[in-house]
């Protein structure tokens, strides 16, 4: 029997809501401040850790509230030092998150949903069904746990966070923004917005909403093709969010935020790797200030795409650079443990 069922998830409360609950319990408001600091600044996963509270108060908190802490279920280590984690949630669902160390940065790749409702043909997560959205605290916990790993294994704290794990972040809009608020807040993890990137498969109206909310973090769009028929073929979401609609949304977003956009472009053999494809991409790049990350494709069991040839990838990238577009070729990390881009699918559930 689950005794937590009637308890309030304490991290779902704002500071003001927490103060009101404390006053109703006959406790002083400053105690709520202390608890809030333990939850978000010190990342306490239990009330027992809150050493400046009296034992009776900690017991009372245990009776009324629950901290739905995320736990590491399994970790795999890649030859290139990437660490892939399966995290277990309070309701036993599994998600994945990855630590990607490079010489210049320590990046956490976090999930925003259990599974995904989009069915992009080249992505393993797209072959799972979406079970539910993650709450803000569950996204925050992944960052805390991966940061701890970075320090334990490499002696370096996290420098960057990418919302590129399982799920479509903009379909879990409010929890994603709330998690970023807690990660960047002074009374939270106090990380810089500039080091956070949210990646979307392209939902035009939600990109506009990011503009309306004047967000400070970086936006990446998984483009993968700059013509509608090709994009429809691999990303069914494009049928309702055509390139014209995305271009309009991106212009709106840029006008509001002044943030340049990053386009992610996975390059597939004999699909989107010709010079003509590069020309279409260069034309799309004219809409707003941007840069392009060309990403090696990581084959997955369900799909028959192959990675483009190295020389074609170079020709493609060089064409974009000649057009004055900042272009990087991203080599994949963590391939040997299925931790690379597009490979996240919880194996335990699929057996």
Q: Compute the distance between CA of residue 132 and CA of residue 340 in angstroms, rounded to an integer.
A: 23
Cβ pair 261, 254 in contact under 8 A: yes
Among residues 252, 191, 175, the alpha carbon closest in space to that of 219 is found at 252
DSSP one-letter string for 180-248? HHHHHSTTTT---GGGEEEEES--HHHHHHHHHTT--SEEEEE-S-SSHHHHHHH-GGGGTS-HHHHHH
Catalytic residues: 96, 341
Reduced to 3 states, what is the DSSP secondary structure of residue 94? strand
**Angstrom distance (rounded) from CA 307 to CA 303:** 12
- 305 within 8 A of 122, measured Cβ to Cβ: yes
Angle between helices 310-322 and 275-284 (to 10 degrees): 40
Strand 83-88 relative to strand 94-101, pairing: antiparallel
């Amino acid at each position: 029997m689950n005794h937590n069922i009637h308890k309030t998830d304490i991290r779902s409360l704002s500071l003001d809501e927490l103060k009101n609950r404390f006053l109703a319990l006959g406790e002083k408001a400053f105690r709520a401040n202390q608890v809030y600091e333990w939850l978000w600044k010190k990342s306490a996963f239990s009330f027992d850790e809150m050493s400046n509270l009296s034992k009776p108060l900690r017991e009372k908190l245990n009776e009324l509230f629950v901290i739905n802490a995320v736990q590491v279920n399994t970790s795999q280590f890649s030859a290139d030092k990437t660490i892939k984690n399966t995290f277990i949630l309070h309701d036993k669902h599994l998600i994945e998150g990855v630590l990607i160390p490079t010489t210049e940065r320590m990046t956490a790749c976090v999930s925003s949903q259990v599974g995904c409702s989009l069915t992009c043909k080249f992505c393993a997560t797209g072959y799972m069904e979406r079970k539910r959205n993650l709450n803000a605290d569950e996204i925050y916990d992944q960052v805390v746990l991966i940061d701890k790993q970075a320090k334990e294994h490499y002696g370096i704290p996290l420098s960057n966070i990418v919302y590129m794990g399982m799920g479509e972040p903009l379909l879990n809009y409010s929890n994603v923004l709330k998690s970023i608020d807690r990660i960047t807040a002074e009374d939270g993890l106090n990380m810089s917005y500039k080091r956070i990137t949210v990646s979307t498969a392209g939902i035009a109206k939600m990109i506009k909403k990011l503009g309306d909310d004047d967000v400070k973090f970086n936006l990446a769009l998984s483009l993968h093709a700059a013509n509608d028929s090709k994009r429809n073929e691999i990303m069914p979401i494009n049928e309702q969010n055509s390139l014209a609609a995305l271009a309009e949304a991106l212009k709106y977003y840029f006008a509001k935020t002044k943030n340049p956009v990053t386009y992610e472009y996975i390059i597939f053999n004999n699909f989107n790797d010709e010079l003509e494809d590069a020309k279409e991409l260069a034309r799309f790049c004219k809409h707003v200030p941007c840069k392009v990350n060309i990403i090696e494709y990581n084959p997955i069991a369900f799909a028959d795409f192959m990675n483009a040839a190295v020389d074609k990838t170079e020709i493609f990238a060089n064409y974009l650079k000649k057009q004055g577009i900042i272009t990087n070729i991203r080599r994949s990390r963590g391939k040997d443990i299925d931790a690379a881009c597009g490979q996240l699918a919880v194996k335990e559930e699929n057996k």
